[in-house]
Structure 1
Amino acid sequence: MLIHADADAFFVSVEVRDDPHLRGRPVVVGPQVVACASYEARALGVHAGMPLRHALRRWPELVVAEFRGETYESVSADLMALFREVTPLVEPGSMEEAFLDVSALDGGSVDEAGRIAADLRRRVRRELGLPVSAGVARAKLFAKLASRRAKPDGLVVVDADTEARVRPRLPVADLWGVGPMTAGKLHDAGIVHVADLCGWTVEALVERRIAKPQAKNLVAIRDGTDDATVKLPGPRKSVSSTISLGRPTRQRSRVRESLQHNVIRALDRLGDDPRPATRVDVHLRFDDGATLVSQGALEEPTRDPATLVGVALAALERTAYEDDGRGIVVAGVALALPA
């Protein structure tokens, strides 16, 4: 049995925890682009990715909280550590969500899994001050759908009978990993619900320009043999750091200084990991929400801060950001690591 645990409106929930005066208010976390919106803000129509200035123009009652990347990363680490106290079989999906395999705990029944999920939610609320929604099911798809249905701050348990009844009626557009383009192709083929996949083979779906891995997944979902395995994360492939610059800027000294700090912070986050960096990527976010990545090649793997800073700054110059016309609101680096 699997639990999908997902901290609700993660960035906003951290801000509300640290500033109770924000509770119940339409809060968004910036900068420049909405990174997260409270449920009160979502009720107004605000959504992640919306330019902040547009949101404020339409809903001046919004409360804007500063984006605190280091705080969110620290809370995420605490959240994952708490998940791993329940079971070592944890597959993170993002910084605030994960699948937990609790099949070996207390007999592995759906009722026991539901009890474990309820206890987990209470612990996260008590120890971290965060609301977590959870879904319990046999396979990842239904655990994820259940946690989505449980939001905000709820628990939904899907037993075998419910899964068998609901599975054929699931809209394919709602399936995990099916984007608008794939959904459109399926609809054109007359496939609107999972039940409509009856009689379709992987090869027939591929002929309708569905990618083969997606076609295999769709057939598995139809047959009830979809993914129920938690995959433990291997060694990290990169380590990163980002800094919010506040107001949009193209000031050379500010952007360069932020990248220098980011390189040092990224190296610090490697901790006891002895691997050297093999590449330096510079990430910029502009005030219109657009992002840009510039890669910096290393002659040989290294952890030398001066070398990594030099490569990062050279990658920055190749972006011609000073002549772009837009302002930079977030600057970051990612250090690629060998396998």
Structure 2
Amino acid sequence: MIIHADADAFFASVEQRDHPHLRGRPMVVGEQVVACASYEARALGVRAGTPLRHALRRWPQLAVTELRGEVYEEVSGQLFALFREATDLVEPGSMEEAFLDVSALDGGSIDEAGRVAEHLRRRARAELGLPVSAGVARAKLFAKLASRRAKPDGLVVVDAATEARVRPRLPVADLWGVGPVTTDKLAEVGIARVADLVGWSEDGLVEARVARAMARRLITIRDGTDDATIRLPGPRRSVSSQRSLGRATRQRSVIERSLRENLDRALQRLADDPREPTRVDVHVRFDDDQSVQVPVPLERPTRDEPALWATAQEALVRSGYEDDGRGVTLVGVGLHLPVA
């Protein structure tokens, strides 16, 4: 049995938890664009990705907070610690959501999985102050669809009978991972719902210009043999840190100070990982929301701070920010790590 657990409006929920005056109010988290909207703001029509100035012009009652990346990472770690207390089989989907395999608990019954999910939700609310929605089902697809249906702050359990009844009626556009391009290609050959896939083979879908991996997945969804495998994360490929400068600037000392602070935080996050970085990536975002990322390989793998700082400075210079007429609003540093 699979649980899909997802913290609702994660950034906004953390801000409303930490700032009581924001609770129950339409508010957004973001700087140049809306990164996350509270459910009160979503009820007005506010969506992530909306330029902040446009959102404030249309909804002047919105409260706005800046992104606090380090806080969200800390809370994410606490959330995943709760997940792993329930089971070691946890597959992260993002910093606030994951699939959990609880099949080993009480013989893998749907009822026990539902109890585990509700217990997790209660603990997240009591210990972290966060609303978490959860979906429970036999496999990932329906667990994900169920948690989506459960939002905000709810639980939906899909038993075998419900799954069998609902599966054929699912619109292909609602299937996790099926994008607009694939949806359009399927519509061209008369496939709008899972039931319409009856009679199609994998090769037939490929001939209809559907990618083979997607065609294979669609067939498994039609047949009810879709993915229930938890994939444990491997070694991280990088550590990083980034922080908004608050307001756009072209002042070298301010930008370099932020660069240095981000490098120090990235090294702290490397902690006891024995691997040595092989590349330094510097990320610069400008005041028109355009970004540039500059990777600079190291001459040899190293954790030597002076060498990493010199490479980060070189990458910053290569970004061309000094010769660019735009102001800088964010600087970030990533340390690329060898996988093997």
Instruction: Tell me the TM-score normalized by structure 1.
Output: 0.97
Which residue number corresponds to residue 220 of structure 2? 220
1:298 aligned residue: 298
Q: Name the CA distance, whole Å, in 1 between partners of 2:9 and 2:318.
A: 36
> Mean alpha-carbon deviation: is it higher for 33-42 or for 302-311?
302-311
Structure 1 residue runs of 4 or more that deviate by more than 4 Å after TM superposition: none
> Secondary structure of the residue that 2:299 maps to in structure 1?
strand
Range 165-174 or range 316-325, more displaced: 316-325
Q: Does 1:26 align with 2:23?
A: no
How far apart, CA to CA, are the structure 1 residues paired with 2:189 and 2:330? 43
The aligned counterpart of 1:172 is 172
- Secondary structure of the 1:3 match is strand
In structure 1, C-alpha distance between the alignment counterparts of 2:204 and 2:267, rounded to whole Å = 49
Q: Distance between the aligned counterparts of 2:64 and 2:107, measured in 1?
A: 46
Paired residue type of 2:133:
S
Query: Residue 326 in 1 paired to residue 333 in 2?
Result: no
* Separation in 1, partners of 2:43, 2:286: 27
Distance in 2 (CA, whole Å) between partners of 1:68 and 1:174 is 32
In the alignment, structure 1 segments of 5+ residues that lack a partner are none
Contact 1:51–1:289 under 8 Å retained in 2: no
Alignment correspondent of 2:315? 315
Shift of 1:207: 2.1
1:306-331 per-residue CA deviation (whole Å, 9 max, x = no partner) reads: 21122222222222223333332221
Residue 156 (structure 2) aligns with:
156
Instruction: Provide the rounded CA distance (Å) in 2 between the counterparts of 1:148 and 1:250.
Output: 43
Say how many residue pairs are matched. 339
Instruction: Read off the aligned partner of 2:139 and give its amino acid letter.
Output: A
Residue matched to 2:205: 205
1:61 and 1:85 map into 2 onto residues whose CA distance is: 41
* Residue type at the aligned position of 1:213: A
CA deviation after TM superposition for structure 1 residue 174, in Å: 1.0
Aligned residues of 1:33 and 1:287 also touching (Cα < 8 A): no
Q: In the TM superposition, what are the counterparts of 1:1-339 in structure 2 within 5 Å? A: 1-339=1-339
The one-character-per-residue Cα deviations of 1:152-179 (angstroms, maximum 9, x if unpaired) are 0000000011111111111111111111
The answer on whether the counterparts of 2:277 and 2:301 sit within 8 Å (CA) in structure 1 is yes
Instruction: Specify the code of the residue in structure 1 equivalent to 2:286.
Output: F
User: Percent same amino acid among aligned pairs?
Assistant: 72
Superposed displacement of residue 285, structure 1: 2.5
Tell which deviates more after alignment, 46-55 or 313-322: 313-322
Worse-superposed segment, 117-126 or 182-191: 182-191
What is the rounded CA distance, in whole Å, between the counterparts of 2:255 and 2:207 in structure 1?
49
Amino acid at match of 1:51: P
8 Å Cα contact 1:51/1:288 also seen in 2: no
| Unmatched runs of 5 consecutive residues or more in structure 2 | none
